[in-house]
Chains A and B, each alone.
Chain A
Amino acid sequence: MSLVDWTLDGVLAALLPLIAWGVVTAASLDKAIMLFIVLGFVSALAWARLDAIDVALVEAAVGSGLTGALLLSALPAIQPRLRRPSSLARRAGVGALLAGITIWLGVTTLRLPARSGGLAELVCENIEQSGALHPITAVLLDFRGYDTLIEVAVLLVASLAVRAVQRPRLRPGRRGEPTSEPLASFLNLLVPASIVIAGFLVWEGSHAPGGAFQAGSILAGCGVSLQLTGERPALRMTLRVRAALVLGLAVFVALAGAPLLRGHDLLDYPRPWAGPLVFALELALTVSIAVILVTFFPGAPDRPEPPARAADSP
């Protein structure tokens, strides 16, 4: 580690709490959202510096990109309903509660054994038995496949909940105003590039950082752009969309349950086929995650009708 490395890490370490402070204390919602997106970018850089490339990928994809767009899309709905700041007693109460939780977490962290090998060695020793060559993918889809299975189910339930509470005004099926020329040509570049990059990331997932979540969120970003610009109407719950929503979970449940029929354990993929099976599962998950994430977004908002052109009027 040279001086430059130290300074680089130092600047990142100083920026993170500073921006986080800005998010919490921002006077307006839009400022908080903007700083939150910046926080996502900086923490992705920090994860990259810590060699946690998988985390950096997810932070860049979900943390800053999609979450930022989601928060912005919620802004018009929340902004008008903001009330005056809550009373001092209430703020003090919430502050004390949060401080308590933080101190508790800190004490717990300090109590952990200073040097524990963790499970990293165990994973690397047994990676031959899993369906993937990359340790993170091996853990997510094989060794701890149970957790991922439940996560995918949670995502599906979240998508259903969003549909239940979405305001009818923002319901799907309407197109926004026609896309402007620069935006249209930009989309022409963005959409094919996103699809190629998403495919690349799923493939990478079997032996390097990448995988279904990252690829799914890139596809979702591309879908959200098309939906927000009004290029495509918001998703309707057609049979195809429903099938895509449940595809990932269905494939996962089938793969997890099939070994039971042959007297093996849940999620115990048959060894010679573990690799192809895990890859097929990743593909199915990518499709489902992308569609589920897109359903979180409302369609293009209502804009006033453009004034009729003079030539159209008699």
Chain B
Amino acid sequence: MHELRMGVALFLLLMLLPGLARAWRGPTLTDRILVIQLFGTCGVAVLLLLGGDREAAALRNVALVFAVLAAVTVIAFVRFAPSEDVR
């Protein structure tokens, strides 16, 4: 079971690489903020998978924090981004 969970976590992590490329190239701020949301969601999933082991159950708390605070960044983006970037 541990192997399977780690395998899925690795898969999710690899799926972030195309997202990272998008964050790198942009071109607009909106593209990048969407990537950050992707990282937030994927991060929650990876943490939950890592926390599947009995001794690492506290990682679920980290996942909770991730989930709650990823939203703050988006709200800040909507409020403060230069308006020509929001399309």
Contact = CB atoms under 8 A, between A and B. Distances in A.
A298 to B, nearest CB: 9
A289 to B, nearest CB: 14
Interface in B51-82: 56, 58-59, 61-62, 64-66, 68-73, 75-82
Nearest to A74: B80
Nearest to A72: B76
A140 B60 CA distance: 22
A35 B23 contact: yes
A15 B23 CA distance: 13
Contacts of B24: 22, 31, 35
Give the bracket for the number of chain B residues in contact with chain A.
35 or more
A208 B60 CA distance: 12
A190 to B, nearest CB: 6
Interface in B1-45: 3, 6-7, 9-10, 13-14, 16, 20, 23-24, 26, 29, 32-33, 35-36, 39-40, 43
Interface in A24-82: 30-31, 34-35, 37-38, 41-42, 44-45, 48-49, 51, 53, 56-57, 60-61, 64-66, 68-70, 72-73, 75-76, 79
Give the bracket for the number of chain A residues in contact with chain B.
35 or more
A228 interface: yes
Main DSSP-derived SS at the B contact region:
helix
Contacts, number: 167
B31 to A, nearest CB: 9
Contacts of A19: 20
Main DSSP-derived SS at the A contact region:
helix
A218 B70 CA distance: 11
Nearest to B76: A69
A53 B66 contact: no
Given A2-B3, A68-B36, A7 B10 contact: yes
A224 B72 contact: yes
Contacts of A69: 72-73, 75-76
A226 B3 CA distance: 42
Contacts of A130: none
B17 to A, nearest CB: 8
Contacts of B47: 45, 48
Interface stretch (A143-151, A209-217, A236-244, A275-283): A209-217
Interface of A: 2, 4-5, 7-8, 11-12, 15, 18-19, 22, 30-31, 34-35, 37-38, 41-42, 44-45, 48-49, 51, 53, 56-57, 60-61, 64-66, 68-70, 72-73, 75-76, 79, 176, 183, 186, 190, 193-194, 197, 200-201, 204, 208-210, 214, 217-218, 221-222, 224-225, 228-229, 300-301
6 contacts: A38-B23, A41-B36, A61-B69, A72-B73, A75-B81, A214-B65
